[in-house]
Chains A and B, each alone.
Chain A
Amino acid sequence: MSDLLGWIANGFAQGSMIFLIASGLTLIFGVMRVLTFAHGGFFMLGAYLAHQLAGGAVLSGPKFWAVIVCGALGVGVVGIAAEVVLFRRLYALPQLYSLLATYALLLLLQGVATLIWGVGTVSLSVSTRVTHSVSVAGASISLYSISLAVIGIAVALMLSLLVYRTSFGTSLRATAADRQMASVLGINVKFVFSVTFVLGVLLAGLGGGLAAQVYAITPDLAVAQLIQAFAVVVIGGLGSVWGAYVAAIALSTLDAYLVTQYQHLATFSFFAAMAFILLLRPQGLFGRREAGA
C-alpha cells in the first residue's frame, strides 16, 4: 500500500509540473492554432525569476509561495510583450512560421538568461517546513509533492471553470471553433487570443517557479520538460485541458511505477504509451476528430 501511495504521489507531483506547461500549450494551440516551442523558455524564465526574487534567502512558506506567484506574473509581463511583438504576426501564417519563430524565441530567452545569470546553476532555497515528508498510510510523502498535486488539480479545475462557465470562456470556445464566425458575431478575437496566450505563458511561468525547487536552474531547463509536455498535449487531445491533465498524471504515475518495478522499461514508457494511445485514438484521449478525418 505504501509503495502504491508513493507511486501515485510521485506521479501526481511530476505530472502536475508537466501539466502546467502542457495546459498553456494546449490552450494556445486549441484557440490560436499556434504550436509554440517558446513555452519552454517561459518555464525556464519562471524558475530564474523565482530565484532572483528570492535574493539568496532561505524562504519561509508564505514568502516562497509569494515569490512563485510574483515570478509567474513577471513571466506574464514578458508574455504580453512577446504576444504583441511576435505572436500576433503568426496567427494568420502557416504553422511552419510559428514553429520557426517560436523556436527562435526559445533560443532568445535562453541566450538572455545566460547573459543575465550565466551558465552556472543557480538555486532556490526554501525552509524544510515546505518540503519535509509526512507519513500517509505508512508511506513517506514529501509535503512539496502534495502541494504540487493540489496545485495541478486546482489549475485544471480553474481552467475548466474559465472555459465552460464564464462569458470569456464562451468567447474562447467560439473563437477556437471558428474565428471568422466569432469575429462576425462581435467577439473581439484579438483580445481572446491575447488573454489566452498570456494565461498560457503565466501557467508556464508558474510551473517554472515550482520546478526551481526541484530541478537544477540552468538555461537548459527550457527544454527539460518540453518534449514530455508536447507528448502530453498530443495524447490528451489538442485543445483539451482535461485531456492534458489526465495524460500528464497517468503517464507520470506509470513512469513512477515502472522506475521502481521495471526500471529498464521506464526510460521509454512515456513515448511507448503515446504511440499506443495514438494508434487506438489518433485524436488523443479527449480530442475530437477533425471533419473528414
Chain B
Amino acid sequence: MNPKTIMRSISPLAVVALALAVAACGSNSVSPGREQGSGTISIGIITPTSGADAILGKYVVDGATIAVDQINHSGGVGGKKLKLVVEDEKLDPVQSVKDMRDLNAQGINVVYGFASSADCLAAQPVAKQLDMVYLGSCNDNSLVSTKFDPHFFQVAASLDSLTNAASAFIKSDYRDVKNWDMYSLDYVTGHSQVDAFKTSLAKAVPGVQLGKETYAPLDATDVRSYVGSIKNAAGPAKADGLYVFAYGAADIAFLKQAAQADVYPGYAEVVNVAGDVVSDEGVGAQLQPTWNVYDYFYKAYDNPLNQAFAAAFAKTYKSEPVAWSAQADIAMTSIAQALKKTGGSSSANKMISALEGLSFDSIKGQVTFRPSDHVLEQSVVAYHCQGDAKSSTGIACNHWQVIPASEVLPPSQVQR
C-alpha cells in the first residue's frame, strides 16, 4: 500500500479521534470519581452536563460547589470534607438509572440532582433496590403523592407550590385580569402543570375564564407555529393574561419567537412559571416584560446566608446565582446537617430519619423537610424582568415579591 493511500485512510480516522478528544474536552462531563477515602464523604450529583440544557447542570454543579466549599471551610462534617462526584444525566431516564448504579458502585449513597421529573421517577426503584437516598430538583407532584417513596426528598418547590404561588400572586396583583390562555410543554409535567394552574387559579380568582391551551414539543427549537396558535386565540374573546410553563432552551425559543410574533401586546400580563434569569439572559435585550415565578431570585432574600452565597458565587463564576444553584446549595446544606445528625453515616435509613422533619437555616430563610411527604417547606418568588440594552446581561429585574410557604404549600397527600 503506498503512502498516499495510507494517508487517505488514516486522515478520516485521525479526524474521528481528534473530534472525540475535543468533544470530550468541550463537554462538561466529568469522569466518575474514585471510591471515597477515609477523610472525605462523597455526594453524587446527577445533572445534565451535555446537550441543550447543559447550562442548567452547570448552575447546579456551581451552586453545589460553593455550598460544599463553604461547609468544608467551616470544618466539614465530623472532621471529614465533603466531595462532589458528578455524572451526566443527559435528560434521559435510562442514563439516570445508569448514573445511580455507577455512583453506588463507588460507595456513594447520597445523590442530588435530576433536572427532569421523568428521570427522578426512573431513579426511584434503583434507590430502593440499592438503598440510596436522593434529593431532587425535579418537581412533579406525583413524586410526593401517588408515587411517593421515602428514599426521595424534594428540594425544588413542587409544581403545586409554583402554581399556588402564581395564583396567589395573580390574586394579589392582577385580580382584574380575568381571562387566561396557557402555553406549556407537551410532556407529563407540562400537562399536569396546566391542570394544576387551572384548578388553583379558579379557587384564587373566582369568575376567571380559562382560554386556549397550547402544548409545544419539549425539544422543539422552532415554535413559531405554536406561538402563532396562541396569538390566534387572542381574537374577539381576547384573553388578558398568558400563563407559560417552559424552561431552558424551550423557554428561550418561546420568549424569542413570541416577541417577534407580537404576542405580548395582546396580553395584559405574562406569567412564566419555571422561567428564570437563565432563560431571560438567553433572550437578552429583546425580552418582553415577564413575571417569572420560581424557587429563587438572588435579590429577593435579604439574609446573611444568601448574601454570602450570592457574593461567593459572583466572585467565583462572574454571574449571579439562579434557582438551580440555590436548590443545589440548599440540598448540600441539608445533606451536611443530616450527616452531622447521623455521625457521618450515609446509610439510607439513617439519612432518611435525619432528613425527615429537619429544620435548618438556608439562603431562603428557615426551611423544613415535611416528614409526611418529604416536601421542603419553602417560599416561592415572583420577579419581573425585561430587556435592557444597557445592562451587561441584557436584562433588568427590578421588582419581586416573596410568597411565603404558608400560602403556597399544598397539604400532604401521603398517609404514613
With beta carbons under 8 angstroms apart, the residue of A104, A113, A119, A131 that contacts B20 is A104
The answer to whether B55 and A119 touch across the interface, beta carbons within 8 angstroms, is yes
Once the chains are docked, how many angstroms separate the CA of A279 from the CA of B12?
Answer: 35
A213 at the interface (CB under 8 A from B): yes
With beta carbons under 8 angstroms apart, the residue of A112, A144, A263, A267 that contacts B22 is A112
Instruction: Please give, as numbers and ranges, the residues of chain A lying within 8 Å of B262 by CB-CB distance.
Output: 132-133, 140, 142
The answer to whether B11 and A89 touch across the interface, beta carbons within 8 angstroms, is yes
The answer to whether A133 and B261 touch across the interface, beta carbons within 8 angstroms, is yes
Residue interface mask B260-279, A partner, CB < 8 A = 1:
11100000000000000011
A216-B282 CB under 8 A given contacts A6-B232, A93-B8, A107-B20: yes
Instruction: Please give, as numbers and ranges, the residues of chain B lying within 8 Å of A213 by CB-CB distance.
Output: 256, 260
Residue interface mask B1-37, A partner, CB < 8 A = 1:
0000001100110011011101111111000000000
Stretch of A163-171, A217-225, A229-237 with 4 or more beta carbons under 8 angstroms from chain B: A217-225
A61 at the interface (CB under 8 A from B): no
With beta carbons under 8 angstroms apart, the residue of A105, A121, A218, A255 that contacts B281 is A121
B394 at the interface (CB under 8 A from A): yes
The answer to whether B11 and A86 touch across the interface, beta carbons within 8 angstroms, is yes
A256-B228 CB under 8 A given contacts A108-B19, A119-B28: yes
The answer to whether B12 and A111 touch across the interface, beta carbons within 8 angstroms, is no
Closest chain B residue to A134 by CB distance? Answer: B262
With beta carbons under 8 angstroms apart, the residue of A17, A97, A133 that contacts B12 is A97
The answer to whether B252 and A115 touch across the interface, beta carbons within 8 angstroms, is no
The answer to whether B186 and A123 touch across the interface, beta carbons within 8 angstroms, is no
Instruction: Please give, as numbers and ranges, the residues of chain A lying within 8 Å of B16 by CB-CB distance.
Output: 100-101, 104
Closest chain A residue to B224 by CB distance? Answer: A10
A111-B224 CB under 8 A given contacts A121-B278, A125-B284: no
The answer to whether A220 and B52 touch across the interface, beta carbons within 8 angstroms, is yes
The answer to whether B26 and A111 touch across the interface, beta carbons within 8 angstroms, is yes
The answer to whether B55 and A14 touch across the interface, beta carbons within 8 angstroms, is no
Once the chains are docked, how many angstroms separate the CA of A266 from the CA of B225?
Answer: 10
Q: How far is the CB of B116 from chain A (nearest CB, A)?
A: 16
Instruction: Please give, as numbers and ranges, the residues of chain B lying within 8 Å of A90 by CB-CB distance.
Output: 12
Once the chains are docked, how many angstroms separate the CA of A217 from the CA of B394?
Answer: 15
A214 at the interface (CB under 8 A from B): yes
The answer to whether B253 and A112 touch across the interface, beta carbons within 8 angstroms, is no
The answer to whether A3 and B26 touch across the interface, beta carbons within 8 angstroms, is no
Within 8 A of A (CB), among B333-373: none
The answer to whether A107 and B222 touch across the interface, beta carbons within 8 angstroms, is no
The answer to whether A89 and B387 touch across the interface, beta carbons within 8 angstroms, is no
Once the chains are docked, how many angstroms separate the CA of A128 from the CA of B264?
Answer: 13
Once the chains are docked, how many angstroms separate the CA of A176 from the CA of B56?
Answer: 46
Instruction: Please give, as numbers and ranges, the residues of chain B lying within 8 Å of A186 by CB-CB distance.
Output: none
Q: How far is the CB of B147 from chain A (nearest CB, A)?
A: 26
With beta carbons under 8 angstroms apart, the residue of A104, A111, A218 that contacts B24 is A111
Q: How far is the CB of A215 from chain B (nearest CB, A)?
A: 5
A151 at the interface (CB under 8 A from B): no
B86 at the interface (CB under 8 A from A): no
A126-B286 CB under 8 A given contacts A100-B12, A263-B214: yes
The answer to whether A259 and B261 touch across the interface, beta carbons within 8 angstroms, is no
The answer to whether A214 and B20 touch across the interface, beta carbons within 8 angstroms, is no
Closest chain A residue to B11 by CB distance? Answer: A89
Interface centre among A89, A106, A218, A255, by most chain B C-beta atoms within 10 angstroms, is A218
Once the chains are docked, how many angstroms separate the CA of A57 from the CA of B387?
Answer: 12
Once the chains are docked, how many angstroms separate the CA of A86 from the CA of B8?
Answer: 9
The answer to whether A89 and B221 touch across the interface, beta carbons within 8 angstroms, is no
With beta carbons under 8 angstroms apart, the residue of B22, B252, B394 that contacts A125 is B394
Once the chains are docked, how many angstroms separate the CA of A17 from the CA of B261?
Answer: 17
Q: How far is the CB of A35 from chain B (nearest CB, A)?
A: 14
Instruction: Please give, as numbers and ranges, the residues of chain A lying within 8 Å of B20 by CB-CB distance.
Output: 104, 107
Chain B interface bracket (under 10, 10 to 19, 20 to 34, 35 or more): 35 or more
A56 at the interface (CB under 8 A from B): yes
The answer to whether A14 and B22 touch across the interface, beta carbons within 8 angstroms, is no
Instruction: Please give, as numbers and ranges, the residues of chain B lying within 8 Å of A133 by CB-CB distance.
Output: 260-262
With beta carbons under 8 angstroms apart, the residue of B12, B186, B282 that contacts A101 is B12
Instruction: Please give, as numbers and ranges, the residues of chain A lying within 8 Å of B51 by CB-CB distance.
Output: 220
Closest chain B residue to A267 by CB distance? Answer: B217
Within 8 A of A (CB), among B47-69: 49-52, 54-55, 57-58
Instruction: Please give, as numbers and ranges, the residues of chain A lying within 8 Å of B25 by CB-CB distance.
Output: 111, 115
With beta carbons under 8 angstroms apart, the residue of A14, A100, A123, A260 that contacts B232 is A260
A110 at the interface (CB under 8 A from B): yes
A221-B221 CB under 8 A given contacts A110-B23, A110-B26: yes
Instruction: Please give, as numbers and ranges, the residues of chain B lying within 8 Å of A118 by CB-CB distance.
Output: 55
Residue interface mask A257-279, B partner, CB < 8 A = 1:
00110010011000000000000
Closest chain B residue to A221 by CB distance? Answer: B221
Once the chains are docked, how many angstroms separate the CA of A86 from the CA of B285?
Answer: 39
A26 at the interface (CB under 8 A from B): no
With beta carbons under 8 angstroms apart, the residue of B28, B50, B221, B389 that contacts A216 is B221
A183 at the interface (CB under 8 A from B): no
The answer to whether A216 and B252 touch across the interface, beta carbons within 8 angstroms, is yes
The answer to whether A263 and B394 touch across the interface, beta carbons within 8 angstroms, is no
Instruction: Please give, as numbers and ranges, the residues of chain A lying within 8 Å of B27 by CB-CB distance.
Output: 111, 114
With beta carbons under 8 angstroms apart, the residue of B7, B11, B253 that contacts A215 is B253
Instruction: Please give, as numbers and ranges, the residues of chain A lying within 8 Å of B217 by CB-CB distance.
Output: 267
Once the chains are docked, how many angstroms separate the CA of A255 from the CA of B225?
Answer: 8
The answer to whether B12 and A89 touch across the interface, beta carbons within 8 angstroms, is yes
Residue interface mask B239-250, A partner, CB < 8 A = 1:
000000000010
Once the chains are docked, how many angstroms separate the CA of A93 from the CA of B5?
Answer: 11
Residue interface mask A92-103, B partner, CB < 8 A = 1:
110001001100
Task: Identify 17 residue pairs between A and B in the complex whose beta-carbon atoms are under 8 Å apart, listed by A's number.
Answer: A6-B228, A86-B11, A89-B12, A93-B12, A111-B19, A111-B26, A119-B49, A120-B278, A121-B252, A123-B394, A125-B286, A133-B262, A145-B260, A214-B256, A214-B257, A216-B52, A256-B228
List the 5 shortest-distance A-B pairs measured between CB atoms, nearest first: A111-B26, A114-B26, A121-B282, A123-B284, A104-B19
Apart from A224-B221, A259-B229, list 19 A-B contacts with CB within 8 A: A14-B222, A57-B389, A58-B286, A104-B19, A108-B23, A113-B26, A114-B26, A115-B22, A119-B54, A121-B279, A126-B286, A142-B261, A145-B224, A213-B260, A215-B252, A216-B253, A220-B52, A220-B249, A259-B226
